Structures are given as C-alpha cells and as structure tokens.
Chain A
Amino acid sequence: MSETVSSPSTTPSTTPQAGKRSIRWPMILLWLGIFALLAILGWGLLNTNATRPEVGQNAPDFELEFFNGYEWEGLPIAGLDDMRGRPVVLNFWASWCVECRYEADLLEQTWQKYKDDGVVFLGVAYVDTEPKSLDYMEEFGVTYPHAPDLGTRVSQDYEITGVPETFFIDKNGVIRHVQIGPMNQQLMDEIIPQLLEN
C-alpha cells in the first residue's frame, strides 16, 4: 500500500506542458485548413453568383479567335480592348438556333449600313460545331467577323441566357443595350446612332 501511495509515476507539472506542445501544431493546421476550406467555398460561391453585366456597366473584356476566312482589321485574334473608341455590336448565335435565322440577314444588312461609320459587328457562335457554323455563315453570306466561343468563356462572362442575344457596347466599353431574342430593324436604327453619338 505504501508503494502505491509513495511512488507517483509521473510529475504533474510536466505532463500538461508536453501535451500542449504536441497538440499545438495539429490545432494550427486544423484551423488553417478550415479557413482555407471556407475561403475556397466563398470564392466558388462568388463565382457562381457572378452577376450578369447590366446596361451602364463596363462590358467584360474578351478575346476572339476568328473562323478561317474571317478577321478584324487584319487580325485573326482580337479583343474588346483593341476595339476601344468604336461602338461594338456583339451578337451570340448558333446554327441550331431557329430564332437566330430570323435576324441573320438583318445583322448583315445593318453591318453593311454602318460599317463605314466605324461600328464593329462581331458574331460569336455559342456551343456550335465548326462545320455547322461555317455552313450557317455561308448560307446567310455574313461578312462581318465571326468566331467560336472557345471554352464558352465569352458567353459565361456575359452570362447570356440563350441565343440569340446581342450586346450593344459604346466607344468607352460600356454596355448600352442588351437584346434578348432576335433583333429588329427599328431597334437597330434607334440604338446604333445613339452609340455613334456617345
């Protein structure tokens, strides 16, 4: 009995310190990990809830690699920054889109009408196959620059709701009008002169 009472096997003053020392790093790692996890989740949520660019806001920049046979001022690849100082009509379309066919001729005619005033028309083929896109462009005889939306990056940045959809961007890169659905002549003749005036 005296053995059990008089021979304490551990010193109480050393045990908690050793415990604290061993537990500190896992705790730090744990909290760092939790913060990292929350940061990544927050970043994901922010990206998911990225708001659609509205009228009055700066148009997201983009870079387009045009289809073979198309170019913008001699460039096979061009971005919105290159077009600064000129109004831009950015039209999203697809060969499988029936409504896009209603506006294809109108867009070409309007481009022909305003091209000498410096208006830039751009066609972006949304989730379309290249052979079908080329057939479509040949069918409607479109001459302004067209490009595929590689990786759907442009349509994601502009958060389009479908096709056709057209963004009217002024000389300063600000969105002035968004048309969801096919365009009509009256609307084009109202908006484009306003873009040229601004």
Chain B
Amino acid sequence: MLRRNKIARGLLLALLLTLLPIIVHAQDEVTDDEVNEIAKDIYCPVCESTPLDVCPTLACDDWRELIRTQLSEGATREEIFDYFARQYGDGVLANPPRRGVSLIVLWVLPALGLILGLLLFAWLLRGLRRNPPAATAATPASAPSATPVPTGNQSLDDYIARVEREIGE
C-alpha cells in the first residue's frame, strides 16, 4: 500500500514537471487578438490608409511579428508605439504624439482656427449691435434709454414719448 502511494506520488510529480513548461509557455504566448489590438492603431508603411491589423503585405506581416515579439518581452502598448514612431516616424501611428508637425497640424491649427472663428463671430456680432438694420433702428424698444428722434409728426412723437415713459416705469 505504502509502495503504491509512493509510485502514485512519483507519477504525479513527473506529470507536473512535464506539464509545467507547457503551461508556462501557454501563458507567455501572445495571441493574435493581443497583437491586433495594438496593430489596429498603426498604419501600413507601404500601402496608404490601411491599418496594420488588416494589411496583407509582407511588410505588415513583419511589423505584426515585431509587435508579438515585443509583447512577449513584456513591452507595454505605449512602449511599442514609441518604438514604431522612433523607427518609422510619427506618421505610422493612428494617434500621433503631440509634438513637431503633428502638434501643429492636429492641435495648434484647429485651436487657432476656432479662436479666430470666435473672434470673427464676436466682431461681426458687435458690428451688428452697433449698426442695427434700419427696421430695428427705428424701433426704440430695443434701447429704452435712448433719446427718440422727433419724427415731425406731433401725434406720433407723443405716442413714442408715452411708450418710452411706460417702458421706463
């Protein structure tokens, strides 16, 4: 009985030792999904506007393999993007880092355009308020405190004055 237990334990140990490297290897293996999760944010270097995860060229195959290798070596997503930007330029990244030309084209220009648009809008609005169209300028309701211009018609002037007073009250 004791001997049988010893044999069973020995077999179990041998089995564990055999399976251990396989289990460890399986855990280290980088899946296609993990590679593609990063590859989708990198663009093919030789065909325009094609993300790496769906690109069929040999160059893209090599790049995906490189991502797999870097992931298996423990590189983070950001480290991999940094590496690709350094090696092949910021243009291969779907979200280029905010520096150099990318900073100007993707961030400074739109911000400048927005500020200019707002300034222009404010300026136009101001101009409209200063010089209202003739129809609204004749209506004193928009500016109750302003002095009404005599029209020459006595009854109309009286009416406007009365409206002014009532608005003032």
Residues of A within 8 A of B (CB): 1, 4-5, 7-10, 19, 23, 26-27, 29-30, 33-34, 36-37, 40-41, 44, 47, 94-96, 127-129, 131-132, 148, 150-153, 156, 162
5 pairs of residues in contact across A and B, judged by CB atoms under 8 Å: A26-B119, A40-B108, A44-B105, A96-B61, A127-B46
Q: Which residues of B contact A127 (CB under 8 A)?
A: 45-46, 59, 88
A96 touches B119 (CB 8 A): no
Interface of A is mostly: helix
Bound Cα distance A176, B104 (Å) = 36
A29 touches B119 (CB 8 A): yes
B65 within 8 A of A: yes
Which chain A residue shows the least CB distance to B108?
A: A40
Q: From residue A153, how far is it (CB to closest CB) to chain B in Å?
A: 8
Task: Kindly list 11 other residue pairs between chains A and B, CB separation below 8 angstroms, not including A1-B161, A4-B148, A96-B57.
Answer: A4-B164, A10-B146, A26-B119, A26-B123, A29-B119, A33-B112, A33-B116, A96-B61, A128-B62, A129-B62, A152-B91
B130 within 8 A of A: yes
Q: Which residues of A contact B116 (CB under 8 A)?
A: 30, 33-34, 37
B87 within 8 A of A: yes
Return the CB mask of B113-145 against A: 1 if under 8 Å, else 0: 101100110110010001000000000000001
B150 within 8 A of A: yes
Q: From residue A154, how far is it (CB to closest CB) to chain B in Å?
A: 11
B58 within 8 A of A: yes
Return the CB mask of B87-121 against A: 1 if under 8 Å, else 0: 11101000000000100110011001101100110
Q: Which residues of A contact B120 (CB under 8 A)?
A: 30
Q: Which residues of B contact A30 (CB under 8 A)?
A: 116, 119-120, 123
Q: Which residues of B contact A131 (CB under 8 A)?
A: 66, 69
Q: Which residues of A contact B122 (CB under 8 A)?
A: 26
Q: Which residues of A contact B57 (CB under 8 A)?
A: 96
Q: From residue B28, how far is it (CB to closest CB) to chain A in Å?
A: 19
Which chain B residue shows the least CB distance to A133?
A: B62
Q: From residue B152, how far is it (CB to closest CB) to chain A in Å?
A: 13
In the complex, the number of residue pairs spanning A and B with C-beta atoms less than 8 Å apart equals: 80
Residues of B in contact with A, size category: 35 or more
A95 touches B145 (CB 8 A): no
Q: Which residues of B contact A19 (CB under 8 A)?
A: 130
Bound Cα distance A9, B145 (Å) = 7
Q: From residue A6, how far is it (CB to closest CB) to chain B in Å?
A: 9
Q: From residue B64, how far is it (CB to closest CB) to chain A in Å?
A: 10
Bound Cα distance A127, B85 (Å) = 11
Which chain A residue shows the least CB distance to B87?
A: A150
B147 within 8 A of A: yes
Which chain A residue shows the least CB distance to B127?
A: A23
Q: Which residues of B contact A1 (CB under 8 A)?
A: 157-158, 161
Q: Which residues of B contact A47 (CB under 8 A)?
A: 101
A151 touches B86 (CB 8 A): yes
Bound Cα distance A10, B85 (Å) = 63
